[in-house]
Copies of this chain bind each other. A is one copy, B any other.
Amino acid sequence: MNPTHPNLEIGMLLYPGLTLLDLIGPQTVFSWFANTHLVWKTMDPVISDTGIGILPTRTFETCPSKLDVLFVPGGFGQQQLMDDAEVRTFLADRAAQSRYVTSVCSGSLLLGAAGLLNGYKATSHWATRDALGAFGAEPVDARVVVDRNRITGGGVTAGIDFGLVLLAKLRGDEAAKLTQLAMEYDPAPPFLSGSPKTADSSTIRQAMEFMVAHAEKQAGRRQSEVAS
């Protein structure tokens, strides 16, 4: 750690229906070493996929142009953004000027849609990982995947591991270690059910059903907002 290092500049995309934990995991990891900018089209509150309202700190126009890290979270709202030209233009523009271009969960599909994973190894939530192939990416079954300056994390809670890996690259192992300790990241999952490799087949089926139902609910919510 070098105490004279300036704060990192980290641009984190917000959008309606994001999974807030995808973002708050790494944002908490980075926070002692960074200015974390929460970026959306407007400064109006953005509602997460579990109904939490969060305030952007920057718009696409006011987000710093040169970033240490561009970050995209996943969430059920990701699907409604895949054809959004404004979002794709913002991501492609900042990616060209960022040291690292990154995502957690289904956020990698948004990076893919913006043309930013073509020819790169990448990961995503286990349920959406194979869809990366459609964007010229090579899906990898790993919690954190580093390929040149693209770093992608798996589903939701993988954002904490992702954040610590990236912080170690940017500010050294000691910075990541003290952050891990301050966050008491010494996990003790109560079940062996965090991956399709270990979960029961009935649990996998039920999780898929819940995820499809929530994706449809999110799509319906967007639809009715567009109509109103």
The CA-CA distance from A114 to B157 in the complex, in Å, is 32
Q: Using A156-B184, A180-B189, A185-B189 as known contacts, list a sample of 8 further A-B pairs with CB atoms less than 8 Å apart, ordered by residue number in A.
A: A154-B186, A160-B187, A160-B189, A165-B190, A174-B206, A181-B204, A183-B194, A185-B194
Complex interface bits, A159-177 against B, C-beta within 8 A gives 1, otherwise 0: 0110011001000011011
Question: Do A186 and B181 contact each other (CB < 8 Å), given the known contacts A45-B55, A52-B54, A54-B55?
Answer: no
Q: Is the CB of A187 within 8 A of B189?
A: yes
| A36 interface residue (CB < 8 Å to B) | yes
Closest to A157 in B: B185
Let me know if A184 and B155 touch, CB within 8 A.
Answer: yes
Task: Give the distance to chain B from A156, nearest Cβ to Cβ, in Å.
Answer: 4
Binds B, one of A18-26, A79-87, A91-99, A130-138: A18-26
A: residues with CB less than 8 A from B are 1, 19-21, 24-25, 27-28, 31-32, 36, 38, 45, 50-55, 57, 105, 125-126, 143-144, 154-158, 160-161, 164-165, 168, 173-174, 176-191, 193-196, 198-200, 202-204, 206-207, 210-211, 214
Bound form: Cα–Cα A99–B20 in Å:
27
Contact check, A154 vs B184: say whether CB atoms are below 8 A apart: yes
**In-complex Cβ contact of A191 among B27, B173, B191, B202 (8 A):** B173
With contacts A28-B50, A203-B177 known, is A156 near B168, CB below 8 A? no
Tell me whether A203 and B184 are in contact (CB under 8 A): no
Tell me if B181 and A207 are in contact (CB < 8 A).
yes
Bound Cα distance A144, B186 (Å)? 12
